[in-house]
Amino acid sequence: MYISLVILGILITGILLSLKKKDETLESLDSSEHPLKIIYPLAANIYRGICKFQKQDLFGSPDQLREIYMDEKPEVSQKVQGCKCIASVIAVLGITCIICFAYDYSRENLIVGKNHLKRPASGEGELEYSLTLNNSLTRENDINVSVSERKLEGEELEKLKEDTAYYIDTHLLNSGEKPECVRGNINLITTIPKTSVKIKWSEENSWFVGVDGKLKNSELIDPVTVSLHAVLTYYEEEWEYKKELTIYPPLVTEEESFMEDLNIILEEKDRSTQTEEMFELPENVDGIELDWGEKEDNKVTLFLLLGIFSAGIILPAMKQDIKKKQKKRNEQMMRDYPDIISKFVMLITAGMTCRAAWGKICSDYIKTKDSRDGKTDGGKRRREKRKEVKKFAYEEMLISDKEMQLGIPEIKVYERFGNRCQVPVYNRFGTLLARNIKRGSAQIIEILESESKESIAERRENVRKKGEETGTKLLLPMFGMLILVIAIVVVPAFSSFNF
């Protein structure tokens, strides 16, 4: 609990201190797209520290980010992506710490005060506490302490005969012992938890087994077979229980002797304080001081480790997400390429120059984009709230058109267009236009028409491959449905046969 509380305190303090420093880039971000915006100031401080070690590429390649976020400056997009990744890690750690702290805080303490255990209420049955015991003899040791339910007058829960016999069989002997070889004490239980069944053991084997279940085998040389007999009473009904045991001489160590004496004291205290609400744990046994403690709950530690692991895989997951976005962007540009080439060929054939055709395509895209954003209704323009689908190829053309308007040479603009797109067909397209202006080409229209035909054929081939991939992905669910249909047909058929 303390580890999660310390981590949570550090995170909250860091967030509060970071809010004092304003960052215009982060404040201008849309909260709907960045739900963790409140954590970004702290993430920005961490990002600046990472930049000092030249490790900002951990959050994504600058070239990939520029292709996806082309409207932003490379350093801005990289900073926003870094803050997004770091904020996600901080959020996961914070939520994990909150859950760990809440779980540990809501858990009721087993030990009340220094050495008291709360006794279960009537009807809850015997309760076993898992504790740790520290003393000078056994040092730290895990021990289970059983505390029976509080004794009250009135009705109690019922228990069937077979359940009672099974309970006695499983609790009669200590762990690891078998009826064919018994060396430790026997648990001659007198009550069954959560029932009104009472057990009275016969004293016919008192020479070897005491009334408290302690074996009198310290002087035995050869094994002895005894038959335990008990009478079980359930209101007015009685039945017998018999069990044959073979008793062997004991193999007792000093530690086992200590634990045996401790268990005896615990049982005596349990019987003597059965009507009290609290069960007092002994402070010493045979002069050895006892230091009781609760057994550590590993659930909190495991959950904290799971949260740290989840936070650790956020960075690789987000970098993979960037690659997926880049792949979708390239696929979209490949789909738009035949349309762009076809429009360019049509405009060039109509007598336009390359510069004019480029500007015409850009202006048409802007009009189409505006028509998607809103429509005219009764003379008034009403905005529709719909997600904008960005056409990356056209957006790159818009950037090139603005560069030409700013006076950058047309040849250089086309070359930079091809390099920015990072798609081979656009690089070839930009090189072709630049060569046409630089050297002149009388066959530019024929070359572009050939390029248009090839791009259409390539798009058709990509569509076919996409369909084959989709069909392959559907094989598994189709196979599952086939098995289900076979089971529906075969199972009733087999069930109708009489074997």
- Decide if pLDDT at 398 tops 80: yes
Three-state secondary-structure class, residue 416: helix
Q: Are 341 and 432 in contact (CB under 8 A)?
A: no
| E strand or H helix that includes residue 488 | helix 475-495
CA angle 354, 359, 361 (to 5 degrees): 95
**Tell me: the pLDDT tens digits for 62-74?**
777 777 776 677 7
Distance CA 144, CA 124 (A): 18
Q: Are 202 and 179 in contact (CB under 8 A)?
A: no
Task: State the number of CA atoms in the 13 A half-sphere of 111 facing the CB.
Answer: 17
Nearest residue to 102 via CA among 10, 4, 16: 4
- Decide if pLDDT at 378 tops 50: no
Per-residue tokens: 137: 């003899």
Contacts 24+ apart (CB under 8 A), 458-463: 458/334, 459/334, 459/335, 459/337, 459/338, 462/334, 462/335
Q: What local confidence, expressed as pLDDT, does residue 18 receive? A: 84
Q: What local confidence, expressed as pLDDT, does residue 499 receive? A: 47
- Give the domain ranges of the chain: 2-106, 113-296, 327-372+387-474
**Tell me: the pLDDT tens digits for 355-365?**
899 999 999 88
- Give 108 or 223, the one with higher predicted confidence: 223
Distance CA 347, CA 356 (A): 9
Average pLDDT, the chain: 80
Tell me the C-alpha to C-alpha distance, in Å, between residue 392 and each of 71, 334, 396, 421: 10, 10, 6, 9
**Tell me: the pLDDT tens digits for 93-109?**
888 888 888 877 776 67
Per-residue tokens: 303: 């959950």
Q: What local confidence, expressed as pLDDT, does residue 199 receive? A: 87
Task: State the number of CA atoms in the 13 A half-sphere of 48 facing the CB.
Answer: 7
Q: What local confidence, expressed as pLDDT, does residue 317 receive? A: 85
Distance CA 13, CA 487 (A): 60
- Decide if pLDDT at 385 tops 60: no
Q: Helix 314-349 to helix 298-312 angle, to the nearest 10 degrees?
A: 30
Q: Are 183 and 224 in contact (CB under 8 A)?
A: no
Strand 380-383 and strand 374-377: the pairing is antiparallel
Q: What local confidence, expressed as pLDDT, does residue 370 receive? A: 75
Percent of residues, the chain, with pLDDT higher than 70: 88
Nearest residue to 129 via CA among 147, 107, 108: 147
- Decide if pLDDT at 331 tops 70: yes
Q: What local confidence, expressed as pLDDT, does residue 196 receive? A: 65
Q: Are 234 and 162 in contact (CB under 8 A)?
A: no
Region 141-150: mean pLDDT is 78
- Decide if pLDDT at 273 tops 80: yes
Q: What local confidence, expressed as pLDDT, does residue 381 receive? A: 40
Residue where the block lists tokens 């075969």: 490
Distance CA 46, CA 223 (A): 73
Surface-to-core class of residue 302, CB atoms within 10 Å of its CB (0-12 exposed, 13-18 middle, 19+ buried): exposed
Region 469-482: mean pLDDT is 81
Q: Looking at 96-100, 268-272, 435-439, which range is the least confident one? A: 435-439
- Decide if pLDDT at 239 tops 50: yes
**Tell me: the pLDDT tens digits for 154-206?**
444 455 578 888 888 888 888 788 888 887 788 888 887 777 678 888 888 77
Per-residue tokens: 316: 């690789």
Nearest residue to 426 via CA among 438, 414, 434, 418: 418
Region 204-218: mean pLDDT is 78
Q: Are 104 and 297 in contact (CB under 8 A)?
A: yes
Q: Are 295 and 130 in contact (CB under 8 A)?
A: yes
Q: What local confidence, expressed as pLDDT, does residue 373 receive? A: 56
Q: Are 149 and 127 in contact (CB under 8 A)?
A: yes
